Structure 1
């Protein structure tokens, strides 16, 4: 299935465009020509050493999984998805894969910043925060049929259930209260309803009888060749099929751009001048779905065509270890909107620096990109190291910059 849309919109959905525009901003940083951050490349050696130490601590045998939503479902060493999957023993593998697509897509979309106060107490009494809490809350809501309109088949996601999901019901499932506020609850509920409407409106992607995200598995499985399926195809399908879901911020030629932002120095004179794409959640979703496809016997090819993820743990690692420094330290004491030029700049530098970090980490571990793709560097890795240094520097483990979340930051 060919990717459709205006050529500039299609370009802005390609990981090669993400990478090239972020690398161009990094090149400006090397010339000390960016408005918000200075680059201190001599610190990269220390960052790489810190990440390698974190990898060896977490994965001493270097058996590192992908940076995927499935890791959060196992927070605290509990294989929660495995417990659910055991109840599906005997069903066709393709149907289990559809259910996993259903779950991963909803859980990733619900992963925008939870806020510093929110906590989730799981069915076993374990208290979790941030991404782990959101992931387990999503999984347990899925297990209880929140996203299914069929009481006899709760372990699925369908348009009918999503279209009727309001903030009160979602908040109850996520234990939201005045004393335990989940940031952006209204936005999250609206996002789920948007997803339901998108499923209903596109039977070619999601099926006609009971539209569900798992319909995308059938499309990708049909496109796979004996060698496998390119990772870029997963992302392209997600960005096209889920385009109506993204909040309406920037549009171009009548099409919603999603996680694409203005930066005054981006792509001068090029198509989409001044625009930097990231598609962070869509790429994380792609990594998560790649794992499902591989478990279903479909190899995913060229995973490193996708980029690193520009979020606050990876970006925080570079700030906390001094590789990047704010020109105006006062910004660290403010809550900044996701479209603030400093946040766009920070995210772009994070994407470009993750590629350089991956090379340095592989060199230290004696592994090549095939053995240690970027998805494993992130997991092992830069994301874990970003959390580790944040906890060492700040009692609450908060990131060095605060991004205001409305529950829909992609």
Structure 2
């Protein structure tokens, strides 16, 4: 690993939380602490024994220096090459949830079929660690930092760290609709643009959006849904807390010729006022946090006119996994989505039941479509890396983003993650 690939915090650069904890700043090439692997011989030894035990029966291949081979996979199974086992096992031993991804970021291990490899691990995720050691998780796992709570100010900082990386970055791998959420493909089709429009239409239909509707959108993205709703003849008020997204969304809305029907506000959902015929929110709940789920759903209810409907799209995980991991801090939190938490279907239904006058009228899941969406994003990102590099992103970012997209794809491939649209009906 070249030293220039993994830099530290710029002097006075502000890459810290309010409490002074150094933060990664991927768009600035800031990777605090990443260049040096942690040192904990006892934990590293335990991590190596657990890793060897875990991969022994998995349908993959692991190659270590000196010709050591692990795993039960055949010649066509995904291959993981561990180049620096010492650093790899020390990172795993100190914090497995973060260290596995960090070791890929710095090149301790590589794979030419990373999504296939991670899918094998994801399929056995709940059994990789023996049950007796899983019981010790709450004593050794790092909790989510209080500085990343999704208060109004905290949510803005958390969103800034992801969505304000660069509009041009997202444009390199998203399709022309600039939709950063799962497509909903027609049977037999993998056309990403058609799938994204079908997804948007599905959410708008669930919310009952018509030509005379006044729609509130919570989470603007880059304007794709607002444009589609306005093309139906609806008026749209769209909320975002990302200045970068607001700027590009307004540009795209104007270019689509619907600026007279869409207003984009830099405003937190908790600060929204008024009453709307329909409320839509696509994959924004994952950034809310369990602490604020009652507030989020209560806000949907408060802003909806009697007889109105909500169209909601959410990534979900099994409820038992939510309960087991809701307070832990992992690689995705540190590098991609600070403050994020994926809900379960049960958690959504319970919050609707206990904190609103709404009810779930319809729902549909399409997790397999998200796996395909992520596969296409990942391939576009890799194929267009030279364009991304010209924006100033370094090789550490390339490996981080590829790992993030492949890691997510694997979760949807094996059913550990799902995505679902909900139609919430309001009071008559």
Specify the structure having the higher radius of gyration (Cα): 2
TM-score, normalised relative to structure 2: 0.23
Please state which structure has a larger fraction of its residues in strand: 2
Please state which structure has a larger fraction of its residues in helix: 1
More relative contact order in 1 or in 2 (CA 8 Å, sep 6+)? 1
